[in-house]
Amino acid sequence: MSSLNRVLAIETSCDDTSVALVESGGWVRQLLSAHQDLIHQPFGGIVPELASRDHSQHLIPLIEETLKRANLEWRDLDGLVVTARPGLLGSLLVGLVTTKALALCHSLPWLGVNHLEGHLMAPFLRDEKYQPPQDFDYPYLALAISGGHTQLYRVKALGEYEVLGRTLDDAAGEAFDKFAKLVGLGYPGGVQVDREAQSGAVDKYSFPRALQKEGNLNFSFSGLKTSAQNLIQGWSQEKIKSERAHLCASYQEAIVEALLYKLDQAAEKHKAQRIVLTGGVSANSRLRLRAQEWANRKSYRLVVPPIRYCTDNAAMIGWAGLQRLQRGERSPENLAPSARSLKGDFIELS
Ligand code: KG4
Ligand code: ZN
């Protein structure tokens, strides 16, 4: 086994400052995150400048607290891992610069990784309360759904990810968040739409399921948002409020069905046996229920990691990076953050 067994990982690509200690086998020894929801709430969306400022205030104290809680010192670490792309440039920069400085200071090897690779590694994480199903392994289909991304991958091995489909416009989480704002729910809206929808009727309103005839595995959610806008145009606040549960349930159903439709097509086409849902939207209770029913019906093994590993977190980044460091990979000193994934991060099929 490689002598490189424990890394400290840092994730600051969007609006969560997250630090983790990850060990061989995908063991998460410690995971601490600071959330910025209250900071961005008044604006109804993430303000990049505020996000990076908050990361720079919280990152070092969070690293110190993480080591303290694990009862570890810098000399107990074998390396550092950080999210280098894709994400908000200013936010990524805070994590990357901090990592480089700490690596230099403590003479540790370090690596910058792709955030989406982290999401794809989430099902392998384990801790005292969670471990992946015993027979879980490559290959699998993974649907990564969050506020920033909606991508469908075929994961063949570490570093071998075929992109089967992606959203052509809004991400699924963005569709939830924009709708929440429209019907007067706070930010981030996904979890509130989920809650409201519990007491609504899924078929009271009809929203479109886009791209079902095109024969590809891409998604589109911008038409859905427009159709919601058109529906409630001219409605009074009282009417929106009294119909909110039904609106949420019907709108949520459209997103869930759009996601499952393409997942089903992809699973058939690629003869998949294992399916993974990851990213913040996989916390959605209706999606979890419908996805499990679908998987049972089709005899697929569905793995949805616990929410702490589905939403943005440093543990998934640590496990992706630790495996790469063990392979001997290192980042160049001049590695820069990138808002987008780089050519070579993923295998594009079309
Ligand atoms: O993965 P994540 O924490 O951060 C990003 O990379 O974006 O995902 C956040 C997204 C937000 O859009 C949020 O509204 C959505 O996940 N989300 C949900 C639920 N919980 C979080 N969407 C639907 N239902 C939920 N229960
Ligand atoms: Zn993410």
pLDDT averaged over every residue in the chain: 95
Nearest CA to ligand 1 atom 10: 147
Cα–ligand 1 centroid distance for 288 (angstroms): 13
b/e code 93-106 from CB counts within 10 Å (16+ = b): bbbbebbbebbeee
Residue 146 alpha carbon, nearest atom of ligand 1? 8
pLDDT, one tens digit per residue, over 58-76 is 999 999 999 999 999 999 9
Q: How many CB atoms lie within 10 A of CB 167?
A: 22
The pLDDT, as a whole number, for residue 301 is 96
Q: How confident is the model at residue 2 (pLDDT cuts 50, 70, 90)?
A: low
- Sheet with 6-11, strands from edge to edge, namely 27-35, 16-23, 6-11, 79-85, 110-114
Q: Which residues contact 113 (CB under 8 A, 6 or more apart)?
A: 81, 82, 83, 84, 317, 320, 321, 324
Q: Is 180's C-beta closer than 6 angstroms to any atom of ligand 1?
A: no
Query: Count of H helices and E strands in the chain?
Result: 11, 11
Closest residue by Cα to residue 251 from 160, 313, 172: 172
Give tens-digit pLDDT for 194-206.
999 999 999 999 9
**What is the per-residue pLDDT across 287-323, written as a single tens digit (0 to 9) for each?**
999 999 999 999 999 999 999 999 999 999 999 999 9
Ligand nearest to the CA of 286: 1
Sorting pLDDT into bands at 50, 70 and 90, what band is 50?
A: very high
Ligand nearest to the CA of 177: 1
How many whole angstroms from 312 Cα to the centroid of ligand 2? 5
Ligand 1 in reach of 118 Cβ (< 6 A):
no
- Number of Cβ within 10 Å of residue 222's Cβ equals 15
SS3 329: coil
Biggest CA-to-CA distance, the chain: 65
pLDDT tens-digit series, residues 205-229: 999 888 887 889 999 999 999 999 9
Residue 173 beta carbon below 6 angstroms from any ligand 1 atom: yes
Residue 41: per-residue pLDDT: 86
Contact 78, 6 (CB under 8 A): yes
According to the model, what pLDDT value does residue 45 have? Answer: 83
- Per-residue pLDDT of 126-171, as tens digits, reads 999 999 999 899 999 999 999 989 999 999 999 999 999 999 999 9
β-bridge mates for residue 219, sequence order: 167
Which pLDDT score is estimated for 1?
A: 52
- Residue 176 alpha carbon to ligand 1 centre in Å: 8
Residue 350 has pLDDT above 80, yes or no: no
